[in-house]
């Protein structure tokens, strides 16, 4: 019985992690790996937030920089402006993603949910609402450029569907960015 409980807990944990809503799209790593990089710098300075703005850009900047520094540090890369062999830059942008049409969604029937002598299938109706319509996304593009040639050697796009566009939750943003950066930098080879 204890094994079943442990397996059920493990499967539930994996299911929750799989449904995080964060998607990463890394570019091929060949150009970056050929550079044998170890030292990096940020291409731009941190955003100054002297007015204590609650704009997501100002909140996200230091969180993203710490997450990238931590993940690169785990792989052996060193933040050193003097000896930098590549630079790290990012672009933050909101985006829109179209929802699923009910006829194309795998768990939604394209037929009316009212059948003779049966109740309305509320799950089908709820799924049609949840998957339909336009969803707002937050997108971060990380770009690594060779310090000598100034050309891009690697990039990755991190996308997350925004659950509540009217409220910025710093803790949720922090955990989402850390998870997204961790997933995004998985394909990077360790530093030489």
- pLDDT score of 168: 72
Could you tell me how many helices (H) and strands (E) the chain has, helices first? 5, 6
Q: Does residue 85 surpass a pLDDT of 60? A: yes
Interval 164-182 mean pLDDT: 84
Q: Does residue 12 surpass a pLDDT of 60? A: no
- pLDDT score of 126: 67
pTM value?
Answer: 0.71
Interval 42-63 mean pLDDT: 88
pLDDT tens profile 86-126: 999 999 887 766 655 555 444 455 555 555 555 556 676 66
Pick from 9-18, 89-98, 153-162, 166-175: least confident: 9-18
H, E, C per residue of 4-73: HHHHHHHHHHHHHHHCCCEEEEECCCHHHHHCCCCEEEECCCCCCCCCCCCCHHHHHHHHHHHHHHHHHH
Q: Which residues fall within 8 angstroms of residue 78, CB to CB, at 6 or more apart?
A: 38, 39, 40, 191
Residue 83 φ/ψ, nearest 5 degrees: -105, 15
């Amino acid at each position: 019985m204890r094994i079943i409980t442990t397996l059920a807990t493990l499967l539930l944990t994996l299911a929750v992690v799989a449904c995080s809503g964060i998607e990463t799209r890394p570019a091929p790593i060949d150009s970056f790996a050929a550079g044998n990089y170890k030292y990096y710098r940020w291409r731009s300075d941190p955003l100054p937030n002297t007015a204590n703005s609650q704009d997501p850009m100002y909140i996200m900047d230091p969180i993203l920089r710490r997450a990238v520094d931590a993940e690169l540090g785990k792989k052996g890369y060193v933040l050193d402006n003097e000896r930098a062999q590549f630079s790290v830059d990012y672009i933050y942008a909101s985006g829109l993603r179209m929802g699923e049409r009910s006829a194309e969604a795998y768990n939604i029937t394209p037929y009316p949910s009212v059948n003779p002598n049966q109740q309305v299938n509320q799950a089908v109706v709820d799924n049609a609402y949840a998957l339909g319509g336009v969803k707002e996304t937050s997108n971060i593009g990380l770009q690594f450029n060779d310090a000598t040639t100034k050309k891009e050697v690697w990039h990755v796009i991190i996308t997350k569907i925004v659950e509540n566009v009217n409220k910025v939750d710093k803790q949720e943003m922090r955990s989402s960015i850390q998870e997204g950066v961790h997933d995004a930098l998985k394909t990077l080879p360790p530093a030489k």
